[in-house]
Amino acid sequence: MTVSAVLPRATGVRHITGLRLALGAAALLALAVFPVLVPNPYYVHLAALIAIYSVLLLGLDIVVGYTGEVSLGHASLFGVGSYTVGVLVFKLAAPFWVTLPAAIAITALAGALLALPALRVTGPYLAMVTLAFGTIVQILINEMDFLTSGPLGISLRKPAIFGHTLSASQYYYFVVAALCLTLLVVHRILRSHLGRAFEALRDSPVASDCMGVSVYRYKVYAFVISAALAGFAGGLFTYSEEYISPNTYSIELAIQFLLAVIMGGRKTRSGPVLGAAIVVMLPNLLSDLELFRSLALGLAVVVTSYAGYALLTRRRRLHELWVPVTLLIGMVIFSYGIEDMTDYRLTIFGLMILLVIYYLPDGIVGFVRSIAQQWRLRLAARTRVRHELQALQRAAGMAQPGHAAAPAPASPGPGTAAAHAQAAIHAGAPAADAPANILEVDEVLVQFGGLTALNRVRLQVARNAVHGLIGPNGSGKSTMMNVLTGIYRPTAGSIRFEGKSIGGRSSAQIAAAGIARTFQNVQLFGEMSVTENVLVGLHHSFASTLLDVLLHTPRYQREAQGARERAASILAFMGLAAFADEEARNLPYGKQRLLEIGRALALDPHLLLLDEPAAGLTAPDIIELTAIIRKIREHGLTLILIEHHMDVVMGICDRVSVLDFGNKIAEGDPAQVQSDPRVIEAYLGGTLESVGGVEPTAAGGA
C-alpha cells in the first residue's frame, strides 16, 4: 500500500478545486444579477453594504484569523477612511480616483502608528491600544469640526465617472467590482510567501524568527494591510451612504466586525463575506421579534435533540452539554418573555459572541468544512477497508510464490537522488580566504540574574564537521544553542561565524547569515502543510515586494515556482515527498523531526544546529536520522549536534565537546571523550568521595 492511499486526502490543500471554482462563479453570477432580480433600492443598498463590510472583514481576517491578534479599532480605521473621502470631497471636491487611494494611504498610516508600538510585546496590548484608538477617533472627529463638521456630519453624492454621477444600482456594481478586486488582492497575498509568514508566526513565533521571518515585522505588515483595506471600505461606505457622522464608528461596530469574522469563519474567503451578511442583517433580525423567536426555538430544538442523541449514544458527557443547552433554552424562554427586542439587542448580541467563541471557534464555514472533512475521511476509510479486503482475497486466491500482492512503489534511481540532493542543498564551495573554523566561540559568558549558564566557554567548530555537544542536564547545551541563534544575548565574550561577529544579533539576522536550527520540542507550523513549512524556510529567497505579489509579476512567478521546486527537492532528499500536502501536525513524530530538519535546510545554511533530534524517536527512525545527517554532511554543511543518545553521538560525530555546569570539561573524538574519566564522572557522578569528600555509607540493604 502506498502511503498516499493510507493517509486521507490532505486537509491542508488549498489550491482551487473544481468545486470551489464552480461555487465561486455561481456566487459572482448571483451578485451580478441581484439588482435586476430584486430592484428594491433598500435591498440593493443592503447588498452594497454587505460587499463593503466584506472588504473590511477580509482585511480583518488577516489580523485576527491569521496572525491571531485582536483588534478593536477597525471601526475607527473604517471611520478614518470614511472621513478622508468625506473631507476631501467636501473641502476639495476631489474625484474618487483621488479620494479612495488617499483613504487607503492615510488609514494604512494610522494603522502603522498603532501597530508599531503595540505589537512589540506579546500580550493583549494591541487589543487595549486599538480600544483606546477607537474611543479617540470618535472624539477627534467630533472635536475637529473645522475639518469634519463635527457632529453635523458630511453630505455628499455618489462618485462621478466621466461626468455621470452613478445611480444606486450602478454604484452597487462599482462596489461589487471593488470587492472582487479585494478578493483577488487578499487571495494573492495570502497564497504568497507573505501569507505563509502570517500563519507561521502564529503557529510558532520562535521558529518563525529562527527561519528569518521576524514576528514583529510581519504582524505589523498584517495590521497595516488590514488597515488599508478598512480605509478602502470606509471610503466606499461614504459614497454609499451619502452622509456620514461620527456616531457610526463606535466600539459596538468594532465588536460587530470581530463577531462577523469569527462567526463567518477565519482563514477563509467566504467566511468574511458570510459574516458581513450576518452583521448587516443582524439589526433587521434583532428587531423582528417573531423571526427571532422562531429562529431561537428552531436552534434550541436542533441542539437539544443532538444533545439527547449524543448522551444516549455516549458520544458526549453531560458536563460538556449542559451549558450550551441551558443557554439556548434560556434564550428561547427569554425571547418569549420580552415584548420589545430593541432594548435587549445588545444582550443577545453578547450572548451570540459567547456562543460563537466557545462552540463555533472556526466559524460557520469552518464548521461546515469540518463536517465535510469527516464525511470524506469516513468514505476514505471505507474505501481503504474495501481495498484491503480485496487484496486479502487476491492473496488467498494466489498462494503460489512469485505472485506479488501489489507492486512495490518504484524507488527513485540513484541518478534522481543525486539530482535532488544537488537541488536541495546549496552549500556551495567556501570562499578561498574563509577561516578553517566555521564557528569560533570565544570566552562566552551567559548569565541570567545570579545564575551562570555558560561560564566563559570556548568552542571551535571545524568546517564540514559533525560536532557533538553533550553534557548532563543543566550543563548549558541548550543555552549555547540559544545564544548561537540569537534567542539569548551573551553577557560577555564573542561569537564569530565565517569570520563575522554574530553575538547579540537577532534570530532573523543570524538565520540570514547562514545558521539554521531545529528545536528540542518540535516547533513546526502545525496547521500548515509539509510543503508550506519548507516554503517558510525558503522565505529568504523571495525578493518580491507586495506589488510584485499583487501583480503576479514575472519576477514573483519565477521566485514562487523556484521555491516550490526547491521545496520538492528538499522533501525528496528527506524522504518526505509522499507527505507533501499533509498537515504538519498529522505527521508521525519521527517524520515531524525530519521535516524540521528539511525546513532548516531551506535556509541555505552553512551551519546546521540540531537540538536533540533523536529524542523520542524509535530505533528505525534513528537509523533514518543518522543516514540523513551523513548525507547532509556529504554535501558540504557543518553540523552541531546536541544529543543524549550516546550511540547516535558516538556513531556520527567527528568531534565531541562536553559541557558541565556551564564549563567545557572535555573535548576530542568520540572514543576519547567516552573514556575520559571526567566525562564519566560528570554523567554518572563518580562516587560521593570525588564529588564532595564524603564517606560512602555502608551499602544499605534493600
Find the binder of other proteins among 16, 38, 160, 691 (CB under 8 A). 691
Give the shortest CB-265-to-other proteins separation in angstroms: 14
The rounded distance, in Å, linking the Cα atoms of 43 and 416 is 61
Q: Is 128 or 398 the residue whose CB approaches other proteins more closely?
A: 128
| Interface positions, 377-436, toward other proteins (CB under 8 A) | none
Count of beta carbons in the 10 Å neighbourhood of residue 45: 16
Residue 639 contacts other proteins per CB under 8 A: no
Find the binder of other proteins among 48, 88, 106, 118 (CB under 8 A). 118
Length of the chain: 702
| Interface positions, 586-605, toward other proteins (CB under 8 A) | 589, 592
With a CB cutoff of 8 Å and minimum separation 6, the contacts of 523 are 204, 206, 207, 596
Give the shortest CB-684-to-other proteins separation in angstroms: 5
Find the binder of other proteins among 100, 103, 131, 279 (CB under 8 A). 131
Find the binder of other proteins among 302, 346, 377, 418 (CB under 8 A). 346
Find the binder of other proteins among 294, 347, 383, 561 (CB under 8 A). 347
CA dist 523 → 210, 357, 403, 515 (Å): 11, 26, 45, 17
Give the shortest CB-449-to-other proteins separation in angstroms: 8
Stretch of 89-97, 108-116, 152-160, 227-235 lying at the interface with other proteins (CB under 8 A): 108-116
Stretch of 87-95, 389-397, 572-580, 638-646 lying at the interface with other proteins (CB under 8 A): 638-646
Amino acid sitting at position 441: V
Residue 93 contacts other proteins per CB under 8 A: no
Count of residues in contact with other proteins, rule CB under 8 A: 86
Find the binder of other proteins among 22, 333, 354, 418 (CB under 8 A). 354
Find the binder of other proteins among 303, 329, 380, 615 (CB under 8 A). 615
* Axis-axis angle for helices 345-359, 270-287 (nearest 10): 150
What ranges in 485-545 are assigned the alpha helix state H? 507-513, 530-537
Residue 478 contacts other proteins per CB under 8 A: yes
Stretch of 225-233, 278-286, 449-457, 554-562 lying at the interface with other proteins (CB under 8 A): 449-457
The rounded distance, in Å, linking the Cα atoms of 87 and 93 is 9
* Axis-axis angle for helices 289-312, 318-337 (nearest 10): 160
The rounded distance, in Å, linking the Cα atoms of 319 and 15 is 40
Most distant CA atoms of the chain, gap in Å: 105
Distance of CA 564 to the CA centre of its chain: 19
Residue 692 contacts other proteins per CB under 8 A: yes
Reading the block at residue 266, the C-alpha cell is 477565519
Residue 472 contacts other proteins per CB under 8 A: yes
Report DSSP state, residue 668: E
Stretch of 229-237, 282-290, 530-538, 611-619 lying at the interface with other proteins (CB under 8 A): 611-619
Give the shortest CB-241-to-other proteins separation in angstroms: 25
Strands 466-470 and 655-660, bridge-based pairing: parallel
Contact 530, 571 (CB under 8 A): yes
Residue 641 contacts other proteins per CB under 8 A: no
Q: Is 487 or 568 the residue whose CB approaches other proteins more closely?
A: 487
Find the binder of other proteins among 401, 402, 413, 701 (CB under 8 A). 701
Find the binder of other proteins among 112, 113, 285, 360 (CB under 8 A). 113
Burial profile 315-348: b = 16 or more Cβ within 10 angstroms, e = fewer: eeeeeebeebbebbbebbeebeeeeebeebbeeb
Give the shortest CB-347-to-other proteins separation in angstroms: 4
| Interface positions, 534-593, toward other proteins (CB under 8 A) | 589, 592
Reading the block at residue 150, the C-alpha cell is 463635527
Contact 650, 674 (CB under 8 A): yes
The rounded distance, in Å, linking the Cα atoms of 69 and 118 is 11
Nearest to 264 by CA among 189, 363, 336: 363
Give the shortest CB-464-to-other proteins separation in angstroms: 24
Give the shortest CB-677-to-other proteins separation in angstroms: 12
The rounded distance, in Å, linking the Cα atoms of 653 and 669 is 8
| Long-range own/partner contacts, residues 200-204 (CB < 8 A, 24 or more apart) | 200/525, 200/528, 200/536, 201/67, 202/66, 202/67, 202/68, 203/524, 203/525, 203/526, 203/527, 203/528, 204/523, 204/524, 204/525, 204/526
Give the shortest CB-434-to-other proteins separation in angstroms: 30
Q: Is 348 or 563 the residue whose CB approaches other proteins more closely?
A: 348
| Interface positions, 643-662, toward other proteins (CB under 8 A) | 644-647, 649-650, 661
Stretch of 86-94, 362-370, 407-415, 468-476 lying at the interface with other proteins (CB under 8 A): 468-476
| Interface positions, 498-537, toward other proteins (CB under 8 A) | 519
Residue 114 contacts other proteins per CB under 8 A: yes
Secondary structure E strands in 252-331: none
Residue 482 contacts other proteins per CB under 8 A: yes
Nearest to 45 by CA among 152, 144, 121, 158: 158
| Interface positions, 279-338, toward other proteins (CB under 8 A) | none
Residue 449 contacts other proteins per CB under 8 A: yes
The rounded distance, in Å, linking the Cα atoms of 498 and 8 is 45
Residue 206 contacts other proteins per CB under 8 A: yes
| Interface positions, 227-286, toward other proteins (CB under 8 A) | 251, 255, 258, 262
Residue 700 contacts other proteins per CB under 8 A: yes
CA dist 450 → 446, 453, 471, 481, 511 (Å): 10, 10, 22, 20, 30
Residue 151 contacts other proteins per CB under 8 A: no
Find the binder of other proteins among 147, 282, 351, 368 (CB under 8 A). 351
Nearest to 569 by CA among 520, 515, 631: 631
The rounded distance, in Å, linking the Cα atoms of 503 and 490 is 7
**Dihedral of the alpha carbons of 217, 220, 221, 226, in degrees to the nearest 10:** 170
CA dist 49 → 127, 324, 331, 497 (Å): 26, 32, 29, 57
Q: Is 440 or 612 the residue whose CB approaches other proteins more closely?
A: 612
Stretch of 221-229, 404-412, 457-465, 639-647 lying at the interface with other proteins (CB under 8 A): 639-647
Contact 360, 263 (CB under 8 A): yes
Quickly tell me which residue has 513565533 as its cell.
205
Q: Is 106 or 115 the residue whose CB approaches other proteins more closely?
A: 115
Stretch of 103-111, 130-138, 384-392, 423-431 lying at the interface with other proteins (CB under 8 A): 130-138
Strand order in the sheet with 638-642: 515-517, 607-611, 638-642, 466-470, 655-660, 663-668
Q: Is 218 or 573 the residue whose CB approaches other proteins more closely?
A: 218
Residue 684 contacts other proteins per CB under 8 A: yes
The rounded distance, in Å, linking the Cα atoms of 426 and 637 is 9
Find the binder of other proteins among 4, 24, 90, 125 (CB under 8 A). 125
Q: Is 143 or 442 the residue whose CB approaches other proteins more closely?
A: 143
Residue 124 contacts other proteins per CB under 8 A: yes
Give the shortest CB-267-to-other proteins separation in angstroms: 13
| Interface positions, 31-90, toward other proteins (CB under 8 A) | 64, 68, 70, 72
Give the shortest CB-656-to-other proteins separation in angstroms: 12
